[in-house]
Amino acid sequence: MKNAHLKDTFREMWRTRSRFIAIFAIIALGTGFFAGVKVTCPDMQLTADKYFEEYKLMDLRLVSTYGFNKEDVEAVKNSPAVREMMPAYSIDAIIKAGNEDKVAKLHSIPLDKLKQETGGYLNRYRVIEGRLPERPGECAVEKGKIGGVNIAVGEEISLNSGREDRAITDYLKQSTYKVVGHVETPYYLTFEKGTSSLGNGTVALYAIIPEEDFNMEVHTDLNITLQSTKGLSAFGDAYREAVKSDREKFEDIAEDREEQRYNEVYSEAVQKLEASKKELAEGEEEQQVKLAGALDDLKKGEAAIKSGKLELESQRKIYNQMVTASEAGLEQAENRLQSGETGYSENFKLFEQNRDGMPASQAAAIEAGLKNTRLELDAGAKELVKQRALFEKQKREGGEKLKESALKLEQSEKKLEEGRAEYEKQKNESDKKLETARKEIVQAEQKVKDIKKPQWYITDRNNNPGYTSYSEDTKRIDAIAKIFPVFFFFVAAFVCLTTMTRMVEEQRIQIGTLKALGYSSFAIASKYLVYAAIASMAGSIAGLSIGLKLFPFVITNAYSMLYRLPPTVMPFRIDYAFWITLGALACTSLAVYSACYRELTEQPSSLMRPKAPKMGKRVLLERVPFIWNRLNFFSKVTIRNLFRYKKRLFMTLLGVAGCTALMLAGFGLRDAISSIVPRQYGEVFKFNAMIIIDENSKRTG
């Protein structure tokens, strides 16, 4: 009998295969959608966890206002909470992208650790195209178009600091790099890279550069993975508690190192200040010595010039006296010579006149005397000419010597003036330098007074906007999965209830016959339970097989416009499949029980008779003749049946309403996700730039 009853059940499935397929389809759709949406959250989290673990995303990132020296690095590295640590450099710079300057975040990459599985290479990069940098002068950039320009592999990019007071070579050893690859990293899950003080204030892209190319004395970042987070999901409470606990340990280290670093910086600044003061004092002393020597030389020069002027004046007086005396002597000699010439002429004339009357001896004696006089006069004239020539020569030589002495004196005066001007110039320059040095010392003293303790900032993954938004989005999907797919189960239950109710009503006579033959109510109901269970089980298997792969793929693909992740990991989740299948079986079983309960409580004789139709009732619309009289016969029957079979009416309404709600919610979910970016950056963020005022800054003006 049992075999016959089971055969009848399978024959019933074939005879009513349309009903069977309807139950199968609605259960497959309900379980597939419920399972697919429900596992999307854990699948997204699992994908991210594997991505984070494979590419070693940091758990904590430390940043200091002073940077990290070797002692800071060692202090953090020696903490027992550290699993791996990577000191790194990062700066903001301007990169040329097409015709526009874009702000880029430059990160260091340790070439010596690229091939190591462990050893401190964190925030690793996934190569999309090309390769990672292998030598200085190479870089890899973010995959995608930046500002409408795609930086292709093989191109050379130029960098500048974007600051007037600093050059890019103050941070990097070179300013041009060859792009050797396109990369992605879990450190930047979204297209948003944060803000910067350069350019328009928004970081457009990131690039990775060999650590050896950075020209900086201290590291800017310390990236850490923790021992306590090993094997934990980044989205679980255990992970958050572990990070919170270890973060407090690093806060203690930070407090200690902040104090030590402050003392080091303060002591170094004081030493430099004292050295500057000593250098200033030595400079002042040296200036005084040099200026005193120069001033002494000037005084000596002035004294020498004064003495030279007196000597020149004395020489000029002597010269003038000599010229005057010589001219007077020559004039007297000329007068004597002229007087002699006159006397000679008179005596010669007188001699000529009286010569004939003179004795020969007397005439000879007078003639001889005149000849001697003539000779003396000629000799005197020659001597006078000679003396005048000598005088002129001595006068000329004396005048030249006076001119030469005057010229030398003038040159000495000029040199003295130049020396005085040079003295004033050097004195002014020295005074300016010393004054500048004094001002710098005053400023340095103020800076020493203003030295503040370094501030360590300890951030975790939650400070990464991409990580936080991704976590929130997975939670939103999970929240949707808690409510939204439940409608499918209600719809499935209504469809199953409607189908099984009709099936039971159609087989009242058969049920009555079986009861009359001695079958128990459970044995009779088992036919319908097996019928619904097989449809439910088959639908669950089909729905789960498709839904566990399809819906996570569709949803994560919709989010791919916001996040950069590897392909979604979609394992077959046995636990979800078991409980969802069990829920589907429970829904169909309850529907079967509800459909069979009333029929199975009746007597066999009542069941084997056709069920009396429900008594017809007038409906409210009949009291409106204007409308009712204009309806045809089938319309009137339909309206009356709506109120005669209220159970079917409500099940139909709820089913259609549920399906409509599901369709509306599905389209709404699609439109909501696709409009996040344009709404966020087109309607919410209406500004092009943002100015942040430092609370500690002093107001001017």
Give the DSSP letter string of 127-177.
EEEE----STTEEEEESSEETTEE--TT-EEEEE-S-SS--GGGTBS-SEE
Beta bridge pairs of residue 82: 226
**Which DSSP symbol is given to 235?**
T
Q: In the structure, what pLDDT confidence band is assigned to residue 1 with cuts at 50, 70 and 90?
A: very low
Residue 19: closest CA among 543, 634, 505: 505
Residues in the chain: 701
CA 311 – CA 305 distance, rounded (Å): 10
- Judge contact between 122 and 56, C-beta under 8 A: yes
CA 487: distance to chain centroid? Answer: 47
Q: Is the pLDDT of residue 690 over 70?
A: no
Kindly state the tokens that stand for 645.
């079979």
In 3D, which of 577, 457, 591 has the Cα closest to residue 36?
A: 577
End-to-end CA distance of the chain: 103
Q: How confident is the model at residue 345 (pLDDT cuts 50, 70, 90)?
A: confident
Q: Rounded CA gap, 333 and 384, in Å?
A: 7
Please tell me the predicted confidence (pLDDT) of residue 435: 81
Answer CATH for 266-450 from 1.10.8, 1.25.40, 1.10.287, 1.20.1410: 1.10.287
* Amino acid in position 5: H
Residue type, 488: F
pLDDT cut 90: percent of the chain above it: 2
Q: What angle do CA 192, 198, 199 make, to 5 degrees?
A: 80
90-97 and 145-146 beta bridge pairing: unpaired
Pairing of strands 100-109, 149-150: unpaired
The pLDDT of residue 541 is above 60: yes
492, 571 in Cβ contact below 8 A?
no
CA distance 97 to 111: 26
The answer to whether residues 178 and 139 touch, using CB atoms and an 8 Å cutoff, is yes
48-104 pLDDT, tens digit each: 889 888 888 888 999 988 888 888 889 988 888 888 888 999 988 888 766 677 888
pLDDT at residue 197 greater than cutoff 60: yes
pLDDT score of 481: 77
Compute and round to an integer the Cα radius of gyration of the chain: 59
pLDDT of 580 strictly over 80: yes
Q: How far apart are CA 104 and CA 649, in angstroms?
A: 64
CB 26 within 8 A of CB 532: no
Tokens of 413: 């005066």
Q: Return d(Cα 559, Cα 387) in angstroms, integer.
A: 125
> What is the pLDDT at residue 680?
64
For the chain, give every residue range classified as CATH 1.10.287: 266-450
User: Band of the pLDDT at 701, cuts 50, 70, 90?
Assistant: very low
Of 203-217, 282-296, 388-402, the range with the highest mean pLDDT is: 203-217
SS3 content of the chain, % helix, strand, coil (to 5): 65, 10, 20
Confidence of residue 209 (pLDDT cuts 50, 70, 90): very high
Contacts of 661 by beta carbon, 8 Å cutoff, 6+ apart: 487
The predicted structure's pLDDT at residue 629: 82
* 230, 235, 239, 240 alpha-carbon torsion, rounded to 10°: 150
Residue 610 scores a pLDDT above 70:
no
Higher pLDDT, 643 or 570: 570
Q: How many alpha carbons lie under 13 Å from residue 62 in its C-beta half-sphere?
A: 33
Helical (H) or strand (E) element with 406 = helix 360-450
Running DSSP on this structure, what letter comes out for residue 114?
T
Whether residue 171 has pLDDT greater than 70: yes
Rounded to whole angstroms, the Cα distance separating 552 from 481 reads 12
Q: Which residues contact 101 (CB under 8 A, 6 or more apart)?
A: 94, 95, 162, 199
For 106-122, the pLDDT digits (tens) are 999 888 877 766 667 88
Which tokens belong to 188? Answer: 């930047």
Among residues 505, 511, 506, 545, which one has the least CA distance to residue 526? Answer: 511
Q: Is the pLDDT of residue 5 over 70?
A: no
Give pLDDT tens digits for 423-462: 777 778 777 877 887 787 788 777 777 778 888 888 888 8
Question: Token pair for residue 337?
Answer: 């010579």
Tell me the helices (H) and strands (E) count for the chain, helix number first: 15, 13
Q: What is the pLDDT of residues 451-508, one digit of tens each?
A: 788 888 888 888 876 788 888 888 888 887 777 667 766 777 777 777 777 777 766 7
Per-residue pLDDT band at 677 (split at 50, 70, 90) = low
pTM of the prediction? 0.69
Q: Is the dihedral of CA 26, 28, 33, 35 positive or negative?
A: positive
Tell me the one-letter amino acid at 371: K
Whole-angstrom distance, CA of residue 251 vs CA of residue 457: 9
For the chain, what is the mean pLDDT? 78
Range scoring the smallest mean pLDDT among 43-52, 161-170, 206-215, 341-350:
341-350
User: pLDDT higher for 258 or 6?
Assistant: 258
